[in-house]
A and B are shown apart, each in its own frame.
Chain A
Amino acid sequence: MDNCAIRPRPPALRFCFRVCLMILLLLSNRLWAADPAPAQKAQLQSKPNRCVALHQGQVCYQDVVLSWQVDQASEYCLYQQHAEQPLHCWQSVSSGQYSYAFASDTSVKLQLVNAQTKTLVAETLVEVAWVYKANTRRKTHWRLF
């Protein structure tokens, strides 16, 4: 019969075990301490979230429906990233939907912002893909083999 389980641990092993336990306890304390207040649950979805153009560099067109939902009713605005003007704003609501005529040659991030606190609540990406990548462009050159 294997009696290793009841055999006393050597002092070095016991020391290591205690140090590991202390590190674990410290870490867990830090984790608990760092646990923030529950974040506001927010969702922003785009359907579809992908636009396919034929050729890299072409503007891609897609009718996108953006749906969002948050916990607390407030004033919210929907922005295209880096744009100053919102696409649409809502007052005293906790959800909304917006039909968006997407047209871009690059992927675009759309952001839901709480207009009162000026904080970003949620964001989603409408990705631009293509079938044929752009030609490799070189400056004027001759070549012979």
Chain B
Amino acid sequence: MWIRLRRFVIGSVAVIASHAITCVAGDLSSDVRKGASGPDSGNGGYVEVGAGLNTYTSPIVGLPEGNKKGEVHTEIFLDINARYQYNGWFMELFSQSLEQFTMGYNFFNGSNAYNNEGNWALDWVALAEHDEMSADESNDYRGLKTRRGDFMSGPRATAYLDNYIVQLHALTDISRTHYGELYSLKLARHWQYRNWNFHGIVGATYRSREIADYYYSIDASEASEKYPEYNAPAGMSYVTELGATYPLSEKWVFRGFIRRIDLDRNANDSPLILDDRSEMIATAISYVF
């Protein structure tokens, strides 16, 4: 199960998220699909397990192995969504999010002065943002030095304003992998049409030069004909997503979305990046315990 989950995370979400480049918080992705209008501040949680079909293009060399520019990959994935919170400590995993497993502490919940709604949240989060790139993960990386997976931490601020959710991440590397920083700002909106819940997300992510350099530069010691020397600059990436969620019953939920990631125009100057964009279409049915 974990192998499949990891494969999904690495093979699809990570393809787009971790290396390419942008991120959408699990909380934001999950909340906007649920049509939430405030932070989840109580103790408790939920677990969902299901299966889904994922079709995507990947802009990263070696993810998946043998990947080519514009090549469409399709795979079945294990859809796991879970969140548990106790006295402010929480952990969350949402397969369709661009984030991976996130741990954190919710230390502030605020109310809007006008309508007294509990619609602000300030958390401290820690999560893996970038997966390992090594010959162990993909044969395409043979001859390259190993790029380790990282672990980043920092504040996450979320505001719930009517049908809108705005979320800001400010993360710094705490794993001594690249010492880089990542900032992301996302805006999400949800609509209800009958029992369908539609959502849209737009977001921008900035990755510092340290991150880009660590994962996408090719230094002189590893340069080859296939991977010529290259210095990656800091970069922006942008995400656009549209999706729908439908309750099939009290226990079964259908979800689907289409997502596009745009990278800086010069992103594919890196020998490790094939394209300046990627797309993903995914659908899943999951059981809510």
Residues of chain A having any CB pair with chain B under 8 Å? 51-55, 58-62, 129-132, 135-145
B197 at the A interface (CB under 8 A) = yes
Q: Nearest-CB distance from A52 to chain B (Å)?
A: 5
**Residue contact A54 to B34, C-beta cutoff 8 Å:** yes
B194 at the A interface (CB under 8 A) = yes
What are the residues of chain B within 8 A of A55 when measuring CB–CB?
34-36, 197
What are the residues of chain B within 8 A of A135 when measuring CB–CB?
36-42, 118
Complex Cα distance A144/B109, Å?
12
**Residue contact A132 to B34, C-beta cutoff 8 Å:** yes
**Residue contact A136 to B42, C-beta cutoff 8 Å:** yes
For residues 218 through 256 of chain B, which have their beta carbon under 8 Å from a beta carbon of chain A? 245-251, 253
- Pick the contact of A129 from B46, B245, B250 — CB < 8 Å? B250
Complex Cα distance A54/B253, Å?
8
Known: A54-B247, A61-B194, A129-B250. A139 touches B111 (CB 8 A): yes
Complex Cα distance A145/B109, Å?
14
What are the residues of chain A within 8 A of B36 when measuring CB–CB?
55, 135
How many residues from B make CB contacts under 8 Å with A?
35
Since A54-B245, A55-B36 are in contact, a sample of 14 more A-B pairs with Cβ atoms closer than 8 Å, ordered by chain A residue number, is A55-B197, A58-B192, A62-B195, A131-B247, A132-B288, A135-B42, A135-B118, A136-B40, A137-B38, A139-B111, A139-B116, A139-B118, A143-B87, A145-B88
**Residue contact A137 to B118, C-beta cutoff 8 Å:** yes
Query: Considering only CB atoms, which chain B residue lies closest to A136 in the complex?
Result: B42
Query: Considering only CB atoms, which chain A residue lies closest to B253 in the complex?
Result: A131
- Pick the contact of B118 from A52, A59, A138, A145 — CB < 8 Å? A138
Q: Nearest-CB distance from A100 to chain B (Å)?
A: 15
What are the residues of chain A within 8 A of B110 when measuring CB–CB?
140
**Residue contact B111 to A140, C-beta cutoff 8 Å:** yes
Residues of chain B having any CB pair with chain A under 8 Å? 34-43, 46, 87-88, 106-111, 116-118, 192, 194-195, 197, 245-251, 253, 288
What are the residues of chain A within 8 A of B118 when measuring CB–CB?
135, 137-140
Q: Nearest-CB distance from B286 to chain A (Å)?
A: 10
What are the residues of chain A within 8 A of B116 when measuring CB–CB?
139
Q: Nearest-CB distance from B110 to chain A (Å)?
A: 5
Which secondary structure dominates where chain A touches chain B? strand
What are the residues of chain B within 8 A of A142 when measuring CB–CB?
107-108
**Residue contact A130 to B38, C-beta cutoff 8 Å:** no
**Residue contact B41 to A136, C-beta cutoff 8 Å:** yes
What are the residues of chain B within 8 A of A144 when measuring CB–CB?
107
Known: A131-B250, A142-B108, A144-B107. A52 touches B195 (CB 8 A): yes
Query: Considering only CB atoms, which chain B residue lies closest to A60 in the complex?
Result: B195
**Residue contact B109 to A132, C-beta cutoff 8 Å:** no
- Pick the contact of A54 from B38, B107, B197 — CB < 8 Å? B197
Complex Cα distance A139/B249, Å?
32
What are the residues of chain A within 8 A of B253 when measuring CB–CB?
54, 131
- Pick the contact of A145 from B39, B87, B117, B288 — CB < 8 Å? B87
Q: Nearest-CB distance from B156 to chain A (Å)?
A: 16
Query: Considering only CB atoms, which chain A residue lies closest to B197 in the complex?
Result: A54
What are the residues of chain A within 8 A of B37 when measuring CB–CB?
135
What are the residues of chain B within 8 A of A136 when measuring CB–CB?
40-43
Q: Nearest-CB distance from B279 to chain A (Å)?
A: 26
Complex Cα distance A114/B88, Å?
56
Query: Considering only CB atoms, which chain B residue lies closest to A59 in the complex?
Result: B192
Q: Nearest-CB distance from A99 to chain B (Å)?
A: 16
What are the residues of chain A within 8 A of B250 when measuring CB–CB?
52, 129-131
What are the residues of chain A within 8 A of B249 when measuring CB–CB?
52
Complex Cα distance A58/B88, Å?
26
Complex Cα distance A51/B249, Å?
9
Complex Cα distance A54/B39, Å?
17
Residue pairs across A and B with Cβ atoms less than 8 A apart, 29 shown, are A51-B195, A53-B195, A54-B35, A54-B245, A54-B253, A58-B197, A59-B192, A60-B195, A62-B195, A130-B247, A130-B250, A131-B247, A131-B250, A132-B46, A135-B40, A135-B41, A135-B118, A136-B40, A137-B38, A137-B41, A138-B41, A138-B118, A139-B111, A139-B118, A140-B110, A140-B111, A143-B107, A143-B108, A144-B107
